[in-house]
Amino acid sequence: MPGKNLSREEAQQRAGILAVDSYRVRLDVTSAPDPAAATFRSTTTVAFRCSQPGAGTFLDLLAPAVRSVTLNGRTLDPATAYDGARVHIDGLAAENVLTVEADCAYSRTGQGLHRFVDPADGETYLYTHFEPADARRVFANFEQPDLKAAFSFTVAAPAAWDVRSNAVHENVTVEGDARTWEFAPTRPISTYLTAVVAGPYHVATDHYSRELADGTTLEIPLSALCRKSLAPYFDAEEILGVTKLGLDFFHEEFDYPYPFGKYDQAFVPEYNIGAMENPGCVTFKEEFVFRSKVTDAAYESRANVVLHEMAHMWFGDLVTPRWWDDLWLKESFADFMGSYGLIGAHTRYSSAWVTFANQRKAWAYEQDQFPTTHPITADIRDLEDAKLNFDGITYAKGASVLKQLVAYVGSDAFFEGARRYFKRHAFGNTELADLLGVLEETSGRDLKSWSAAWLQTAGVNALTPQVTTDAEGRITELAVLQDGDVLRPHRIAVGLYDRDADGALVRTERIELDVTGARTVVAEALGRPRPALVLLNDEDLTYCKIRFDADSLETLRGDLGGIRDELARALAWSAVWNLTRDGLMPARDYVALVLRFAGREGNIGVLQSLHAQARTAVDLYADPAWRAEGARQLADGALRELREAVPGSDHQLAWARFLAQTAGGAEHLGLVRGLLAGSARIDGLEVDQELRWALWLALAAAGQAGDEELAAELAADNTAGGQRQYAQCLAARPTPEAKAAAWSAVIDSDELPGALVRANAAGFSIPAQRDLTSLYAAPYFKLLEKVWTERSIETAVLIVGGFFPIAQTGEQTLAEADAWLDGHPQAAPALRRLVLEHRDDLARALRAQACDRA
């Protein structure tokens, strides 16, 4: 479609001549409950100035039809002004008023205005999602972050509905079966941050007050929303409690009052991402409303996301990146502040940095080792580039580097810099230099070289200890070796660990130093007794992969679970996983560590990560000749730990889910069926709805779940969640017919929402069923460009990733991927990036298998 992929240069040209004052957007969604209604009426009036009178420009709009275009009282012909992606206008005055009336489409793919019909009660729900550039699916606009404006929304909706937007509503009028909601103007914000949520939502309310330094009182109305059918499970009090703690914390740290009036948080169905920071109207995936028992790690994750989105009210909403090159200026900060805030706001989640080290940084390390890795400050040429840059570099690596920056400049200087940044650039747009400028002011450090090393280069360093001792076992030299394409300055702590009287591994010495260059001597270690374990990057201050000297690695093999400190233990787990991924530790050795020590792991989030990684080790990284044995060992270990876990504990639930994921033998599957039927029982284990679906998935994948049984389970749980689980179970059955049906459901139709695309892909791609799915490798590569061209980019990304034949870990599949890349040099760069990353995962798996065989 012409002009659909806005380039950076076009955005710069438009921003060079335009300043936008206001938008008035009227939406009529009274037709939404009618499934036959494909569109809704959208009318936009935008007031803007032009520094070059007589010039021409364009607005962005993706709509099935444009009814009228009026510029400064002059009527333009939609047939010539609108090309399907842009509304072209010319003859601009110094001050302009443009009105565009269009029929815009309800969405089923999560972009624009998404429409969902609840299977539980037939109710219809709407919500918007726009980042980075889908506001144009709902109203005509200048779709780029640096053309901020005030927005006034008016929404006509069914009378029984609640409607929310970024600002408070000023007036509601009733006319027949409809109500019209008029919302106050927002402060200046970017188009992608506007929001509308509409439907018969269940609403919980609260209020936040704070005395400000000037003697005034800040009043913030709070609300939390979910679908009516989820209301019995909605723990709004917990969510709003975290919200109030977060508001206290961010006001203390940022010294800038929350600028957007109210604070709504809507948990919405079929959401493509975790959450979105729309000011005053944050949206979250409704999977954060827990229908069944979950571990405390899930509650911590939700609280982290609540604080992540709240941090965006300042980093991203108040001060916004000028273009998507500096996406990290909001996402890295929010990712960092999510974990920092869980501790600083005194929530009950005191292990937030353990989770960060074990999970968020694992994502960053993976992304940063792809051939497509990029600097934190990326080169974003256009919107397709931008959509793929919401990745582990921008989020997790950026957050890790900010943690290193706080250690480098000090927390006081860091947060004083943030305060000046907000005051100086409020309601404006910034670039890297703006942030570095205030941090240099507050810290007194020259950050140009730091920025060049950390923000403007790609790749991850590995740090390895080199230890020599004398005849008495005392250290004659401890050095830190750094490798990588770019050698960076690291502020790290080195932990020396030995056994205490109880036999636990505890830190006996902590040495903090700057690591620079290829080799740095740790002078303070000289003469100290050789410890059992040398742990580099203790406390996780910097961003790096850590390795071990031979003696330390041997200590971990014998007693990794004996490390008393949970962050140090999490770092050790992360390190041995990186060794496995890098083909330096056999996959079966990693599995042995998990089977030996995971049962002693106290941190539930770390335990669940170990479960996922152990499955990957067996499915992808182990010698194919050992896979069956590895799978049996995992299932036996899961069963053993399930029986030994404390009844009713999070650990018991985690091991039950792990058993469902690994069950393959008669004993395991017999227990699974017994738990479903009620004929078997594990003391303290509640087989609730979500666990039932996990158990059914195990039976389905083993070919032991009949059509009638699965249909009966769906009938008992005919909800959005139930339909997703049912689709995955059907796709997981080990028959050619099941695979063909899942493939066809996704590939042959563009009607499935992202949630069902993911469910079908997950069931289709079970690694143990690689013999059934191998037939689809060749068709997969043939359809890539068609999928990319015809589907929304969000859906296309799900298909490209979900159906890539990663389980076909052989040279032939690698050759097919290479042949596609060689034969399609002109394919969309974003598509080539995805294929290249999945190809790299495949090559990594082959290297790991070679290590495991050896």
Instruction: List the one residue out of 164, 117, 162, 166 whose CA is nearest residue 269.
Output: 117
DSSP per residue, 699-724:
HHHTT---HHHHHHHHHHT-SHHHHH
Residue type, 564: R
Cα R_g (the chain), whole angstroms: 28
Which residues are CB-neighbours of 711 under 8 A, at least 6 positions away? none
150-158 and 18-28 as β-strands: parallel, antiparallel, unpaired? parallel
Q: Round to whole Å and give the CA distance between 703 and 769.
A: 11
Helix 829-853 vs helix 793-802: angle between axes, to the nearest 10 degrees?
A: 20
684-714 CB burial, b ≥16 within 10 A, e <16: ebebebbbbbbbbbbbbbbebbeeebbeebb
Tell whether the torsion through CA atoms of 813, 362, 387 and 485 is positive or negative. Answer: negative
- Give, as one character, the DSSP assignment of residue 161: -
In terms of Cβ atoms closer than 10 Å to its own Cβ (0-12, 13-18, 19+), residue 189 is buried
First and final C-alpha spacing in the chain: 52
* Active-site choice (101, 131, 286, 309): 309
Residue type, 30: T
Q: Round to whole Å and give the CA distance between 237 and 251.
A: 21
Which residues are CB-neighbours of 157 under 8 A, at least 6 positions away? 29, 30, 32, 163, 178, 179, 180, 181, 198
Q: Round to whole Å and give the CA distance between 423 and 441.
A: 14
**498 three-class SS:** strand
**320 three-class SS:** strand
Tell whether the torsion through CA atoms of 682, 685, 689 and 695 is positive or negative. Answer: negative
Instruction: List the one residue out of 135, 153, 155 whose CA is nearest residue 61.
Output: 135
Q: Round to whole Å and give the CA distance between 568 and 552.
A: 13
DSSP per residue, 771-786:
HHHGGGHHHHHHHHHH
Given its phi and psi angles, is residue 318 left (phi above 0), alpha (psi -120 to 50 degrees) or beta?
alpha
Q: Round to whole Å and give the CA distance between 459 and 91.
A: 49
309 is a catalytic site residue:
yes
Residues 418, 439: contact at Cβ < 8 Å?
Answer: no
Q: Which two tokens stand for residue 793?
A: 């980019």
Q: How many residues does the chain have?
A: 854
Element (H, E) at 481: strand 475-483
Q: Which two tokens stand for residue 66?
A: 């444009």
Strands in 187-337 per DSSP E: 196-199, 202-211, 217-226, 263-268, 275-276, 281-285, 320-321
Q: Round to whole Å and give the CA distance between 816 and 674.
A: 43
Residues 602, 566: contact at Cβ < 8 Å?
Answer: yes
Residues 582, 547: contact at Cβ < 8 Å?
Answer: no
Phi, psi of 49 (to 5 degrees): -110, 150
Q: Round to whole Å and give the CA distance between 504 and 494.
A: 18
Q: Which residues are catalytic?
A: 309
